[in-house]
Amino acid sequence: MIEIKNIDFSYYEREVFKNFSLKLEDGKFYTLLGKNGSGKSTLVKLLLGIVKVKSGEILVDGKNLTDNLYEVRKNIGMVFQNPDEQIVSERIDEELAFSMENYGYSSMEMRERIEEVLQEINLLEKRDLRISQLSGGEKQRLCIGSALMLKPKVLVLDEGTAMLDEKNRENIMELLKRLRDRGVTILLISHHLDELKYVDEVIYLKNGELWQGDRDKFLKEIITGSLGESLELPPNFYIAREIFRRKGIDISKNLFSSEEVAEHLWRLSLKK
């Protein structure tokens, strides 16, 4: 469990967090939403100990983050937006092995783990290709693989799906869900609200304030409440909000399927 307790953080005079608290439970799939500049990447930097809080504390499994940085970093896998900026090798096996080097594993252990991870990220049959021959989606899966090598308890993706098309994003989301089912905590920073389909909980940073709650509650609030005003809504969400505004009908539970939304529109058109 990660507990952020009453932290203050600023970059010089730019205050990003003031008396900010947040709890992440083990084995849940979280998405972290918020406008550009709302502090999402800063939160990740704080969790990795790359920047330090001015006051307050961050506890990982009850232990202070700054006192246990080595252990904490080992337990948090990171994936960034652009795979090409993360990949350091030319070969898939080398790239995966790289994450395990310097941690004192034998080459036997490394080979076994590479095998497991390749299976997990579904790249076994491509392992002999050069990394430059992989597609963007495959490269991103490889980056997730590198992040998984040390069996982290938490996997953080800072816009890790931003550069992918819809099919590849779905593919990655299914992979993240499988990892969640195996007990890995997922923190996905994203701008795509349609990815909410896969997540358990939402953390929404809005003007330095925090909204946190389960996915369905969040959906209900953006469709029927005021929460969505500053978020860019995908078409289905937008239609759902208009249906609520004009007719008072709440379809926030059935947002992800265009068929269901179309069915609602059809029924409403018959009622005219």
Ligand X SMILES: Nc1ncnc2c1ncn2[C@@H]1O[C@H](COP(=O)(O)OP(=O)(O)OP(=O)(O)O)[C@@H](O)[C@H]1O
The one of ligand X, Mg ion, none whose footprint includes residue 36, by CB under 5 to 8 A per kind, is ligand X
Q: Which of 24, 30, 33, 38 binds ligand X (CB under 6 A)?
A: 38
Q: Per CB under 5 A, which of residues 8..47 are in contact with Mg ion?
A: 40-41
Stretch that binds ligand X, among 29-37, 123-131, 193-201, 242-250 (CB under 6 A): 29-37
Q: Does 89 bind Mg ion (CB under 5 A)?
A: no
Least distance CB 133 / ligand X (angstroms): 30
Q: Does 212 bind Mg ion (CB under 5 A)?
A: no
Judged by CB under 6 A, how many residues of this single chain contact ligand X? 11
In the beta sheet, which residues pair with residue 156? Answer: 78, 187
Whole-Å CA distances, 211 to 20, 32, 63, 188, 218: 11, 10, 25, 16, 9
Stretch that binds ligand X, among 38-46, 141-149, 161-169, 249-257 (CB under 6 A): 38-46
Q: Return d(Cα 243, Cα 249) in angstroms, integer.
A: 6
Q: Which residues contact 51 (CB under 8 A, 6 or more apart)?
A: 9, 11, 42, 45
Least distance CB 102 / Mg ion (angstroms): 28
What is the CA 150 to chain-centroid distance, rounded? 19
* DSSP states of 141-192: HHHHHHHHTT--SEEEEESTTTTS-HHHHHHHHHHHHHHHHTT-EEEEE-S-
At residue 4, the 3 state secondary structure works out as strand
Q: Does 192 bind ligand X (CB under 6 A)?
A: no
Least distance CB 232 / Mg ion (angstroms): 16
Q: Does 39 bind ligand X (CB under 6 A)?
A: yes
Six token digits for residue 197:
């389909």
Q: Which is nearer to Mg ion, 16 or 261 (CB)?
A: 16
Q: Return d(Cα 22, Cα 245) in angstroms, integer.
A: 32
Q: Which is nearer to ligand X, 42 or 236 (CB)?
A: 42
Q: Which of 2, 4, 16, 243 binds ligand X (CB under 6 A)?
A: 16
| Chain positions contacting ligand X, by CB under 6 A | 11, 14, 16, 34, 36-42
The residue ranges that bind Mg ion (CB under 5 A) are 40-41
